[in-house]
Chains A and B, each alone.
Chain A
Amino acid sequence: MAETKWVPNIRQIAKEMHERGFTGITPGHRLCAGCVAGTIVRQVMMAARKPVVVINATGCLEVATTIFPYTAWQVPWAHNAFENAAAVASGVERAQAKLIRDKRFEGDPDIEMDYDIVVFGGDGGTYDIGLQALSGAMERGHKFMYVLYDNEAYMNTGIQRSGSTPFGAWTTTTPAGKVIPGKPVGKKPLVDIIAAHRIPYVATVSPYYWNDALVKFRKGFEADGPVFIRAFSTCNRGWYNAPEESIAISRLAVETCVFPLYEVVNGVEWRLSPPSLAIAKNPEKKKPVEEYLKTQRRFRHMFEPENRWMIKRFQEMVDYEWELLLERAGLKG
């Protein structure tokens, strides 16, 4: 895979976007105050090199940005069900290839056929419901970028657990109380599953590390084949964090290794990204998970004396995943 030489320059990007009057997603969308999904969409649009077509699985982002008759999107946009976002993107990509091959709109000044396809899906639509369509599209090798904004539960329908909900988290379907102390099992290792499809590019991004995120989105646009990017997205309604701390939590998640930043090229070459690589080289920089857990009230019950074991267990799970990642990246020993 060709490496991008692009170095994002915040002033230049701001200038260009200001002159074009383009932000991809306009103000006036109705995501909750402090929802980072809006920031992630903006960062994808900043990294775009061509016009973009957006396919949006059902979820918070879709519901909040297109409440009839208003739409916040400045790009062609299609809504589809939870389960078929990747299938719709496959169809768009094939139709684009066919129309270019047939020279159907060649020389038509009103129609641009040279565009990139982006899919936005939440964790419910990706980890659980849309996994088979996603897997199929990855296997067929359609060229599109799937951006998962991972807020770790079905937030749109009222905070039900999903395959992405972390161990011990409170949700309405895993309530912390006398019977169970939050979700009894951990997260599904989705990035591993997608990387196992041997697709050209898989990455994780956190909006706080915008430089890293923009470069990864650009790499995703430039890759020749399906791309999967998992973005860390806080949800202040479902996680009960302070809205203004959303970006700070995105940073803390990386610093505690709860959400390490890495990329996988062709499914085999695992590489840590600079923020996580710094922690791998200086393990004393790794912060304990308590610092991450205490920012969110969904983990509040874990700080009760009888539930302290859960913090220890959470730390063990994070450490296990982190060691596994170091081993894959060849940084062990």
Chain B
Amino acid sequence: MSALRGWKEIPIAGIPFEPAVKYKTGDWRVFRPVIDNEKCIKCGLCWMFCPDSSIIWDGDNFPTVDYEHCKGCGICAHECPTKAIEMVRG
């Protein structure tokens, strides 16, 4: 008998099984966003517009940045109404 698994045992389609959070996209980055809490008014726009879900915000406290996944696109700094986010090299 063959040691290979039959059609009943193998997955019915290609199934990606690892959560993507394990893949760190932070090393794509050239500039990193740094939030100045003195200027931040907690409007949440950086959180709303971040395409990478890399602004972590609970709705009450100051937002923080997930540097393991932030790709450094700079949307948050560009859209911040009080210019509280600065893009810093490295």
Contacts and interface: CB of A to CB of B under 8 A. Distances in A.
B40 to A, nearest CB: 14
Contact of B19 (A14, A28, A243, A246): A28
A112 B57 CA distance: 29
Contact of A244 (B14, B58, B77): B77
A23 B66 CA distance: 14
B41 interface: no
Nearest to A77: B16
A37 B57 contact: no
Nearest to A207: B49
B72 to A, nearest CB: 6
B87 to A, nearest CB: 8
A71 interface: yes
Contact of A246 (B48, B54, B73): B73
A25 interface: yes
A36 B79 CA distance: 13
Interface centre among A67, A210, A243 (most CB of B within 10 A): A243
B49 A12 contact: no
B39 to A, nearest CB: 18
A42 interface: yes
B17 A34 contact: no
A12 B59 contact: yes
Contacts of A38: 50-53
Interface residues of B, number: 42
Interface in A40-92: 42-43, 65-72
Nearest to A66: B16
Contacts of A32: 71
Q: How large is the interface on A (under 10, 10 to 19, 20 to 34, 35 or more residues)?
A: 35 or more
Contact of B51 (A11, A15, A37, A248): A37
Contact of A33 (B22, B68, B72, B77): B72
B75 A243 contact: yes
A201 B78 CA distance: 33
A69 B21 contact: no
A245 interface: yes
A24 to B, nearest CB: 8
Contacts of A11: 42, 44, 59-60
A37 to B, nearest CB: 7
Nearest to A71: B16
A301 interface: no
A29 B71 CA distance: 10
Closest 7 CB pairs of A and B: A38-B51, A244-B74, A15-B59, A27-B69, A34-B73, A28-B20, A33-B71
30 contacts: A10-B43, A10-B59, A11-B42, A11-B59, A12-B59, A13-B59, A14-B57, A14-B58, A15-B58, A18-B56, A18-B57, A27-B54, A27-B66, A27-B69, A28-B20, A28-B21, A29-B52, A30-B23, A34-B75, A35-B51, A38-B51, A65-B20, A68-B14, A70-B22, A71-B18, A71-B20, A244-B73, A246-B73, A246-B75, A248-B79
Given A10-B47, A29-B25, A247-B49, 9 more contacts: A15-B58, A18-B58, A26-B20, A31-B51, A33-B72, A34-B73, A71-B17, A72-B19, A210-B48
